[in-house]
Amino acid sequence: MRPAISPRKRWRAPLVYCLLLLGLGFGITGALAHSRLVRSDPAARAVLDRAPKELKLWYNEAIEPAFAKVWIVPAQGPQIPLTTKADPSDQRVVVVTLPDNLPAGPVNIGYHVLSVDGHTVDDKLTFTIKAAQ
């Protein structure tokens, strides 16, 4: 015959499960709280009539502009590093100077930034420049 579970111990298992679920929920929320790109100008996947002079990247939290690295990823050959600077009016923005000789077609941009919370963001975006007609 199986011994009966005392009423005092009956609440322990559900409590443990609830605490585990709560802990997992906080862990997932914390992971989603890292910096991320929220907007760019030109926008990702934009099709432009002419090459822009600069690219602006907006993040959801402040970043460390001294550690921002942005580059063009050409179809062939090595990456082309680009010059970045901070936007003095907004610590969440990085301003990137683009070369004057961007060819028509897709422009693939890679970026690596460090947010003020110490996490890095690495990703890429693409926009397209129409061929002159």
How far apart are the C-alpha atoms of 78 and 74, rounded to whole Å?
A: 7
Quote the CA–CA distance of 93 and 81 in Å, as a whole number.
Answer: 18
The C-alpha atoms of residue 35 and residue 20 are separated, in whole angstroms, by: 26
pTM above 0.85, yes or no: no
pLDDT value for 22: 61
In the prediction, which pLDDT does 80 show?
A: 95
Token digits of residue 27: 């862990």
Q: Judge if the upstream peptide bond of residue 42 is cis by omega within 30 degrees of 0.
A: yes
The predicted-structure confidence for 18-60, as pLDDT tens digits, reads as follows 566 666 555 544 445 678 999 999 999 999 999 999 999 999 9
Percent of the chain with pLDDT over 90: 64
Which spans in the chain are helix H?
Answer: 12-32
**What per-residue confidence (pLDDT) applies to 87?**
94
Q: Which domains does the chain have, with CATH numbers?
A: 37-129 (2.60.40.1220)
Comparing 31 with 70, the larger pLDDT belongs to 70
pLDDT number for residue 35: 83
Measured distance CA(58)–CA(9) in Å, rounded = 53
Structure tokens at 68: 């921002």
